[in-house]
Amino acid sequence: MKGGRAATTTMGERLRFEAVSAERGGRLLLHDIDFTVEPGEIVGLAGRNGVGKTTLLQLASGAFAPAAGRVLIGESPVRSLARRAIARRIALVPQDLHVPFPFRAGELV
């Protein structure tokens, strides 16, 4: 998936975006996003640079807080979960991943 990102959920919990908006530096990056990723579903994000793919994944992983709305894993707000709990539930595969060791792709995943 050139130029894209991918995400999936595990543990039988859905990932939900409810009326999510995101801002950085006073600039609106995403506005009123609503969608759900069902358990086991794989979602690919494709689009040109600057449309919000990375921002959406940062919201999903709890690395970035929404300016409005909620991001939930199951019934829990992502930002309320510990990093380890999020990592057990969401897998993210970034476009550019720099690994300092010579791992094979299967070993890395």
Give 33-72 pLDDT, tens digit per residue. Answer: 999 999 888 888 889 988 898 899 899 989 889 999 999 9
- Where does 1-109 show beta strands of DSSP type E? 4-9, 15-24, 27-37, 42-46, 68-73, 76-77, 90-93
Give 2-22 pLDDT, tens digit per residue. Answer: 445 545 554 578 999 999 999
pTM of the model: 0.73
Nearest to 42 by CA among 97, 88, 86, 5: 5
State how far Cα 2 lies from the chain centre. 17
The amino acid occupying position 30 is: L
